Each structure stands twice: as structure tokens, then as C-alpha cells.
Amino acid sequence: DGGITQSPKYLFRKEGQNVTLSCEQNLNHDAMYWYRQDPGQGLRLIYYSQIVNDFQKGDIAEGYSVSREKKESFPLTVTSAQKNPTAFYLCASSMRSWGYTFGSGTRLTVV
Amino acid sequence: DQQVKQNSPSLSVQEGRISILNCDYTNSMFDYFLWYKKYPAEGPTFLISISSIKDKNEDGRFTVFLNKSAKHLSLHIVPSQPGDSAVYFCAASGIGGGADGLTFGKGTHLIIQP
């Protein structure tokens, strides 16, 4: 069964700590994306990668970092520099530009 | 500056009636438009899309209309069913497709009442 998997589903982080969200896809998609959703807000693009070993900043990249060492994996690190990290994080992948498949999301809460 | 706007945070429609969700955009470079449906604590799922060379696209109960001169698109759901209750996001991309990311609206929460 092809799909995109995000883990964990829920994550708690203490202030000042870095935390990494996992995103894995077995769809053989070239491009992968990270979005953030806040209550009453749309999805805002954090980072994206169109090919292995390359990635670009989205609209709200400050306080986040990513890597793309493998085609299947695009982990997102929320660093202590992110001022307001509590949010719902969504990973997506696509083969062609507009065929997005989303994961089920990770809800990050800072405690 | 919001480039994709969904001005109705919520919409309540009776089961069996038509649901009309609206979306406006400001960027004239947008070339492709999509609608996604999202349930709580889940990722969005693709619903229907339309290219700027068309003004209508239909898929079963779902039809999307595009008015380029007004920079407006709408999603019609006929007839509305209880399972349609969800948040609907309008999204747009430029000529290159969504390769550098889609721009999303804030969403409209559709509530189908029995």
C-alpha cells in the first residue's frame, strides 16, 4: 500500500528543545513539502524539496530545518529558535506538480 | 498579504441542498486551482481541480467554476450529504504547477445539517 507516513501523531516538547518530525513516503514521488496549520488558518509552506539533497525555504522557514538525504524521507526539525511551535504539521509529496498526497499530520505541543 | 482568500469561515447547509464554497485570489500568475477536503486531525485529501484554460470542471457531485476576470472560483456540491461536513481548502499554483508549493486559503468549515 503506497502512502505517506508521518510520525509521531502527537508530540510534546519542552521549551528550548529541538524536536524532529518524521515524514516517509513510498510513492516514489520526487517532491516533498512541509506545511503548518494553525487554528483558523490555512496551510503555510515551511520548506520543500524537489529532489534529493536539495531543498528550498517556504514562506515561514525561520526556526525550522530540513534534510533530504533519501528520496523517501524528508524530516523536519523544529528548533528552539521557533517562537511559536505549537501547531499541526503536515507533510506532502508529489510526482507531478499538482498531485499532492498529504500525510495524516503531527500535532506538536510545547509544554 | 493573503493571495488566496476564503471569506466564509463556516457554512451551514441542509442535507440534500446545494453547498457553494467561494474562493478569491489576487495573484494573476496563478494558473491552476485545487480544492482539498480535511477532517479534524487528518491530512487534506484532494477533491477536484481546474486549469485556468477552463471555466468549469465536474466530477460526480462536485463542480468547480472559475471566473478568471473576477479572480474567483467556487465549489458546488450537489446534493450535500452528511459526510461532506469538513473543512474545505482552496489552493492555487503558478504556471510551473505546485512544484514550489501551493498557496492555500484559510478554509471554510462546511456543516451539513440533517
- Per-residue pLDDT tens over the stretch B6-41: 999 999 999 999 999 999 999 998 989 999 999 988
Partners of A50 on chain B (C-beta within 8 Å) are 99-100
Whether chain B has a CB inside 8 Å of the CB on A56: the answer is: yes
Whole-number pLDDT of residue B96? 63
Give whole-number Cα distances, A13 to A39, A89, A107, in Å.
19, 14, 11
In tens, the pLDDT along A25-69 reads 999 999 999 999 998 788 999 999 999 999 999 999 999 999 999
Q: Bridge-partner residues for B49, per DSSP?
A: B34
Nearest to B2 by CA among B86, B68, B90: B90
Q: What is the pLDDT of residue A96?
A: 65
Which CATH number is associated with domain B4-113? 2.60.40.10
How far apart CA A100 and CA A95 sit, in angstroms, is 8
CB contact under 8 A, A42 and B99: no
Q: Would you list the domain boundaries of chain B?
A: 4-113
Residues in chain A: 111
Give B107's contacts in chain A (Cβ within 8 Å): 42
Hey, is the C-beta of A60 within 8 angstroms of any chain B C-beta?
no
Mean pLDDT of B57-61: 97
Contact status, residue A56 vs residue A48, Cβ threshold 8 Å: yes
Report residue A100's pLDDT band, with 50, 70 and 90 as the boundaries. confident
What residue of B is the nearest CA neighbor of A107?
B41
The predicted structure's pLDDT at residue A98: 60
pLDDT value for B97: 63
Query: Cβ of A92 under 8 Å from any chain B Cβ?
Result: yes
- Letter string b/e over residues A16-51, b meaning 16 or more CB atoms within 10 A of that residue's CB: eeebebbbbbebebbbbbbbbbeeeebbbbbbbbbe
CB contact under 8 A, A90 and B106: no
Percentage of chain B lying above the pLDDT 90 cut: 84
Instruction: Write down the pLDDT at residue A20.
Output: 96
Q: A97 pLDDT exceeds 60?
A: no
Residues of B in CB contact (< 8 Å) with A are 4, 6, 9, 32, 34, 36, 41-46, 49, 89, 91, 93, 96-107
Among A43, A48, A56, beta carbon nearest to B89: A43
Q: What confidence category does residue A104 fall into, taking pLDDT thresholds of 50, 70 and 90?
A: very high
The answer to whether B102 contacts A100, with C-beta atoms less than 8 Å apart, is yes
Instruction: Find the CB nearest A42 among B89, B96, B101.
Output: B89
